[in-house]
Amino acid sequence: MSRVVLHLSDLHFGRIAPALPEALLKAAQQIAPDLVVVSGDLTQRAKIVEFQQAHAFLEQLPYPRLVVPGNHDVPLHNLYARFVHRLSRFQTYISADLEPVYEDPEMAVFGVNTARSSTWKGGRINSRQIEGLRTRLCATSPGVARIVVTHHPFEVPPGFHHRELVGSARAALERWTDCGADLLLCGHLHVGESTTTLQRYSHVGWQAIVVAAGTATSTRGRGAANSFNVIRVEDRQIVDVSKWTWDETAGGFQESSEARFVRTEAGWVRRDDSSGEPVRTAPV
Ligand SMILES: [Fe+2]
Ligand SMILES: [Fe+2]
């Protein structure tokens, strides 16, 4: 049995490339995921109109969804809104629950809010969240894939500073040792990349696959093409992560690379050599 997760991030309504939302909806229709995950930064400046646009977009995706906020979803310039209302606009228009959970017989997906009023760009996971998630991870049935969704990342792509990691990342992974997670989904850096926790957190004795999504729809790509991920989880044994990138010439999103991770006795191991190579050419 398998499940397909459509992993979107950093939509940034307010800084949208006009053609992309519709192309993304078209691709989603083809993918027909079991769940849509959005790992934060739905807006550019946390304006009401931006949240309304993000809400209207999400409503066009007829699939279960799990959304967490990002740092851009906290008002920046209006200090009263920033510190008093914080994520109230996100809660009004996107998701009242800041730590949503999705569970079915194949997978359990846990959202964690890492956006903070006290810091503009950075984010952190606090001890209450770490302990709460530990309880939930430990209570999950052995055959069910465990997926944690944050905005800020547990690993950074090459060239990024470790200061970009979610605060208390190491403490979280240490506390989750007994119960683990299979996948850590994130966004924030606007770079789509898959890896494992093995290198940075080799001391914790367990490992997860870390999947970062690029910006799906915004003009804030930092040189990278707009992208999103399609993640297929099979029996908690195999995880395929395919990155779909925007092709201006074709006028659609195309699958541009795929990474396969296989569970072994030593943990999750990447078993592919196709990273970066186009595997499908038909535009969507
Ligand atoms: Fe972002
Ligand atoms: Fe962000």
Q: Which residues lie near ion ligand 1 (Cβ < 5 Å)?
A: 10, 41
- Specify the pLDDT at position 86: 84
The Å distance, Cα 178 to ligand 2 centre, comes to 30
The pLDDT of residue 174: 96
| pLDDT score for 118 | 73
Q: What is the pLDDT of residue 99?
A: 96
Render pLDDT for 48-59 as a digit per residue (tens, 0 to 9): 999 999 999 999
Separation of CA 101 and ligand 1 centre (Å): 22
* Positions in the chain whose pLDDT score sits under 70: 77-85, 119-120, 273-284
Put simply, whether the predicted model's pTM sits higher than 0.85 gets the answer: yes
User: pLDDT per residue over 176-222, tens digit each?
Assistant: 999 999 999 999 999 999 999 999 999 998 999 999 999 999 998 77
User: Where do the domains of the chain lie, and which CATH numbers do they carry?
Assistant: 2-238 (3.60.21.10)
Cα of 227 to ligand 2 centre, how many Å?
A: 15
1 C-alpha vs ligand 2 centroid, how far in Å?
34
Q: What own/partner pairs with CB < 8 Å and gap ≥ 24 does 94-100 have?
A: 94/42, 94/51, 94/54, 94/55, 94/58, 94/67, 94/69, 95/67, 95/68, 98/68, 98/69, 99/68, 99/129, 99/132, 100/66, 100/67, 100/68
